[in-house]
Amino acid sequence: MRILQITGDWKWTGPAAPMLELLLALRARGHEVWLACPPPPPDQTGIEARALAAGVEPALRLARGRGVRWWRDARDARRLREWCDAEKLEIVHAWHTRDHVLALRALARRRRAREAALVRSVKSAEAIAATPWNRWLYGPASDGLLCVSPESARRNARLRGGRALLGAFGAVDTARFRPAPRRAALAAELGLLPRHRVVGVVARAQRHRRFDLLLEATRRLALSDPDLRLLVIGRGTHIEETAHEPARRLGIEERVVFAGYRGDDYTDALCLCDVLVLLVPGSDGGCRAVLEAAACGIPAVTTRRGALPEIVRDGDTGILVDEDPASLAAALGALLADGGRRARMGGAARQRALDRFTPARLAEAVERLYRESLARRR
């Protein structure tokens, strides 16, 4: 098939990584797949740089912009239509609302002629609000809909009217993300000693991510475990008020290690963790950090929000907890105190990643969605 992956967002955010992984895996399956995205602002990097590093040259560079703006996006819509017609595109896969509307404008004739289909990804695991706009956009304006998990697809089936629908977990490179010993130099840089037991969190420091719950659980554990450390991987404009200041107020600032945003050594930073915590999914409802941790053989302790109960098998690859400090502290304490149990859960998590979270598996499932979307269109 001849496929275009299109995004109107230039940033390397949570949904961008699965898009690139999928693009590469579809190419490996023999499809012709292109990318359309905006370039980053001067002196910044984003999707384009990551794509180029992976050997993917964007076929179209869209204008930067947010939201649906009919007149502003007219030039992009015309360029996209001309390119899709010239390349005889069969599938355009949109990842955000702005590029979805651009694709609708560009594919209007080809969809009427039953020559092409439009597929949309949904980044949240929650049910889409059934507003008139959403009923149209995620209904007849989408020939196929890709959701981040099987349950999220069931939640949104009411909008589809029998049209093609798929719920599939995200994908991570299980060769890059794999079990590995702690890298001593990085551990020393962050002040982590071999005896330290490390709880990790990978998240932007935002108000809704429940750092208050995590820090209070850390305070409780720290009362009886002098070797406990909380490793915060990520950054955020609100990190001072959501993490730094509360840690000082709780008297645990020496127990919390702020690693900041990690680039090339991100996998090494992740492998410093004995357990990963994710309490509230961020912009990527597929919970990519949990998938990456699983591939590294790291068990997870999570809440039951979004797709987390589907990704983490309670008692097997991790533990699901209620959203209160006592439950979180008890689960973390039990895992940190039992290395054998951590190893068993980590091994099960790694095997689940190999079975369910690979780009090849995602591409195989999405290929079926593409074929069904195109067949129903025809």
Per-residue DSSP letters for 335-370?
A: HHT-HHHHHHHHHHHHHHHHHHS-HHHHHHHHHHHH
Separate counts of helices (H) and strands (E) for the chain: 17, 13
pLDDT attached to residue 208: 67
Query: H or E segment at 300?
Result: strand 300-302
Tell me the mean pLDDT in the region 325-348. Answer: 95
Q: Is the pLDDT of residue 377 over 90?
A: no
Residue 366 is which amino acid? Answer: V
Decide which of 71 and 362 is more confident: 362
Residue 90 is which amino acid? Answer: E
**Tokens linked to 371:** 């074929």
Domains in the chain, ordered, with CATH? 2-171+358-377 (3.40.50.2000), 184-356 (3.40.50.2000)
Residue 227: which pLDDT band, with cuts at 50, 70 and 90?
very high
> Among 47, 118, 60, 63, which residue's Cα sits nearest to residue 86?
60
Backbone phi and psi for residue 30, each to the nearest 5 degrees, phi listed first: 100, 5
Specify the pTM.
0.90
From start to end of 248-297, where are the E strands? 256-260, 275-278
pLDDT attached to residue 207: 66
Asked if 321 and 160 touch (Cβ cutoff 8 Å), the reply is no
> Among 158, 146, 140, 59, which residue's Cα sits nearest to residue 95?
146
Residue 173: which pLDDT band, with cuts at 50, 70 and 90?
very high
What's the CA gap between 334 and 264, in Å, rounded? 32
Largest CA distance in the chain: 69
What's the CA gap between 125 and 358, in Å, rounded? 19
Asked if 214 and 328 touch (Cβ cutoff 8 Å), the reply is yes
List CB contacts of 135: < 8 A, sequence separation 6 or more.
Answer: 159
